[in-house]
Structure 1
Amino acid sequence: MRHARNNELTDRRSAAADAKTALLMAYRAAKMAAEPAQAARQAERSSLIEAREARRAKRERLKVEERTRAETVAAQEHAAIEAAAAAEIEARQSAENARISGLVQDEAARKTERDRRYAARKARQA
């Protein structure tokens, strides 16, 4: 009986080893069969990653262009405001100069008129 029991144990051991070997062979066969599909999935993943990176780069480029455009517009507006301020200052200055010139001419005309009246009065008295 003891010998039968050992045979039974060795049978179980060999059956387990055979099963393990069969599983290993099945795994290797499945791995070999799935290798083209895995390569295709990997290629698809890499193409998705490249597309994602291209979209990200495009978004970044658009952001930079928008920021540059906004800075350009802001600089143009700032220059326009400065030009308008300079034009306004020059217009005020020319208006002030014209007013002063007008006052000087009015004063000269009044002095001339006063001198004419004074001369006419002196001529009548003489």
Structure 2
Amino acid sequence: MNPHTLLGTVLVLLALSALGGIAMGLIRLAGKRNPPPWMSMAHGLMAGAGFTLLVYGLFVLALPRSAGWGAGALAIAALGGVVMNLGHDQKQRLIPRNLLAAHAVLAIAGFALVALAWTGTDPQTLVAP
């Protein structure tokens, strides 16, 4: 797999995860309830798949530096997701809005950095290993 294809796949997985994240954020912000657990699990699974593929790419391919920074932002966002799930949702407590916002901002930043890396990997200029 070349860097352009790998990063494109990562972006698709993260975008699908983001759709679920937006829906969950709207559920939480619209009222005094957390999103259903199945949504959290699907969101985390999709984001985890994208993140795992990104980290794999960082180890085995020559990816642009922004991909590494994106992975860092996504890792911190993932920690926030774990705190929201285990520290609040599983204990039947409302997820704090500021934690939700921080998670979203970090995830968006990570996505943007990976997208920047993807734009810098023109498939026409890549050399096959």
Whose relative contact order is higher, 1 or 2, with alpha carbons under 8 Å and at least 6 apart? 2
**Structure with greater helix share of residues:** 1
Task: Choose 1 or 2 for highest CA Rg.
Answer: 1
TMscore range, shorter length: under 0.3
TM-score by length of 2: 0.23
